[in-house]
Chains A and B, each alone.
Chain A
Amino acid sequence: MGQNLAPFAIQVTDLTVTYNEKPVLWDVDMEVPEGVLMAIVGPNGAGKTTLIKTILGLLEPAAGRVLIQGKPYKEKRHMVGYVPQRGTVDWDFPTTVIDVVMMGRYGSLGWFKRPGKAERQAAYEALEKVGMSAFARRQISQLSGGQQQRVFLARALVQNASIYFMDEPFQGVDAVTERAIIALLQELRAAGKTVVVVHHDLQTVPEYFDWVMLLNVRRIASGPMAEVFTDENLRLTYGGRLAFLREREATT
């Protein structure tokens, strides 16, 4: 690679992560160019969430390194937004929707400073974008699954990042919310952001995304949708579980 080329938005090299000495991710490379909407696809236990969490520094890799825009993650943290799986928090926590969204600003706010008008304004705008502004004062335990997901998206939006990681944002949401989320993702891409999404529904992968990584502990393939999302690669990723592939062939 020539030195004058712009660095990848995300570059993962030789990443290995183990859990109780068993590799969960094995020697994974990943290059994500700026401005793509990328899906990470693979069967259960393939290490999709582990990959995201390791990139974000939530898990320690056994080996390998992660660069964000050519720099270590720590230096580029403010460029990165994160939408965790919504099941990872207690939605009975005593707080409101707007408060949760403002948490996206806690990183840039600095010590001893309370979120003020500017943060509130940003949070309202983000809620507006995900169609949840009417719920701003609502206690979070009163939200449906799809609404929880949208609150998490709004929280990532106020981070004002240029690279987003989302862990299964479509899990357990209805068709309306799914369309709202995908519209938002496309809006982010149009604004030049890079978005990496752990995704489960193979049917919608080519429709929603333009870049894809097939993962099953090892990297099977990664690149532009048309090149990578082939039946051969899917077979390699999902192994013997071919039933859905036949379905796919039948529908295409």
Chain B
Amino acid sequence: MSLGDLLQNLLFDYTLRTVALGSMVLGIVSGALGAFAMLRKQSLLGDAISHAALPGVVLAFLLTRSKESLVLILGAAIASWLATLWMFAIIRHTRIKEDAALGLVLSVFFGFGLMLLTYTQRLPDSRQAGLSTFLFGQAATLLVRDVQTMIGLGVVAILLLLAFWKEFKLLSFDREFAVSLGLPVAMLDVVLTTLLVIAIVIGLQAVGVLLMSAMVVAPAAASRQWTDRLGTMVTLSAFFGAISGLVGALISSTGTGFSTGPLVVLIASAIVLFSMFFAPNRGLFWGWVRQQRSRCQLRLENVLTDLFLLANQHGNLLHPHSIQALRAMNAGGDWVQTSLLRLKELEMVSQLDEHNWALTPKGVETARQIVNIYHPTGEGQ
């Protein structure tokens, strides 16, 4: 299937349009809220929240016998909320640390959820059939009504995030200072955590409880690589989330048989990998390039000053020397030749014959400056 076909499908295929839109919405909301979770060092909280949602989904179904997405999402949100509260209570009132508390709550809730799920599957009620999609997610089951619910909740979450932007920013950066200013920090904590819960539960049907936490972590981690501004970071994170959702839905629609949820997560992870390597400043690749460049520069300076020091001993700064002498001064480095050629391009040295090289007046001047920097009282005076 060509790209043109894909775009045509996106515009005119009703199902694909719904699925793509739903995936983008979940990507945007989880990306934006995930950025704050990451800055508050709570990325893993997303994992607990999404796993803990499972019993809520099943219980909501058992109580109402409805598979209306708003009902299931509400159940998920309540369970996630209780899990989060419980976790914070454990951290506050016992000596169990955050990681252990998180693991504990996550496994208890998830285990309970699985138990409920297997119980439900043995019920004669055929309506339970779709519930297990909440494990791995199945974007193809998204209906327009579901996406409308997702959009409604997502818009509310984003609007609240914008409304309390400066408070959330301060809360994430310097909580104690926020308290000293008199901000109701406990309330803000509750609101921000609730928004994260919303971001996660609206994505559960499409991506599933197992993988949804990746959508909290991945876009945020990727966006942090590209920028040092909070606003840009949150926007970029939402954008990466949207792209992951869209591309995941498109690839899934090509009939390869891959389901959307895992694809969305894989695309997001690919964006993280790419960002880690190629983002300016923080990217590993550019770090490597910078290192190579400065190494190259250092080698040029080495060769130049070596020629200068050698010639200085002859009382004639333009006195030529053989490349062998220079190699000997630099532990036989193979790079002496390339450095000389580069210096020749810069018109700092001239090649007299196959082996012999001499400084040009310009080279002498540059070498003198370098020597003066490194050895202020040295031979350069």
Contacts and interface: CB of A to CB of B under 8 A. Distances in A.
A19 B232 CA distance: 41
B166 A114 contact: yes
Interface in B156-187: 163-167, 169-170, 172-174, 176-183
B228 interface: yes
Say whether chain B's binding surface is mostly helix, strand, loop, or mixed.
Answer: helix
A57 B179 contact: yes
Interface string A107-148: 101011011000000000000000000000001010000000
Contacts of A175: none
A106 B173 contact: no
Contacts of B227: 94
A78, A103, A111, A141 — which one has the most chain B CB atoms within 10 A of its CB? A103
Contacts of B39: 90, 93-94
A82 B228 contact: no
Interface string B215-234: 00000000010011110110
B169 A95 contact: yes
A69 to B, nearest CB: 16
Contact of B183 (A106, A115, A139): A106
Contacts of B173: 89-90, 93, 95, 100, 103
A58 B163 contact: no
Interface string B112-152: 00000000000000000000000000000000000000000
B182 A74 contact: yes
A106 B176 contact: no
A88 interface: yes
A80 B174 contact: no
B176, B180, B230 interface centre (most CB from chain A within 10 Å)? B180
Interface string A69-96: 0000010011010101000111001111
Contacts of B165: 114
B31 to A, nearest CB: 15
Interface residues of B, number: 27
A112 B224 CA distance: 26
Contacts of B179: 56-58
A84 B174 contact: yes
Contacts of B182: 74, 77-78, 107
Contacts of B183: 106-107
Interface string B30-66: 0000000001010000000000000000000000000
A77 B178 CA distance: 12
B230 A84 contact: no
Nearest to B181: A107
Residue among B165, B170, B179, B181 with max Cβ neighbours from chain A (10 Å): B181
Contacts of A57: 179-180
Contacts of B172: 93
B163 A112 contact: yes
B181 A106 contact: yes
B287 to A, nearest CB: 15
A94 B228 contact: yes
A106 B166 CA distance: 8
> Which of B179, B182, B227, B233: most chain A CB closer than 10 A?
B182
27 contacts: A58-B176, A58-B180, A78-B182, A82-B177, A82-B180, A84-B176, A84-B177, A89-B173, A90-B39, A90-B173, A93-B172, A94-B227, A95-B228, A95-B230, A100-B173, A106-B167, A106-B178, A106-B181, A106-B183, A107-B181, A107-B182, A107-B183, A109-B166, A111-B164, A115-B166, A139-B228, A141-B228
Interface of A: 53, 56-58, 74, 77-78, 80, 82, 84, 88-90, 93-96, 99-100, 103, 106-107, 109, 111-112, 114-115, 139, 141, 155
Which 9 A-B residue pairings sit nearest by Cβ, starting from the closest? A107-B181, A139-B228, A82-B180, A77-B182, A56-B180, A89-B174, A93-B173, A94-B228, A94-B230
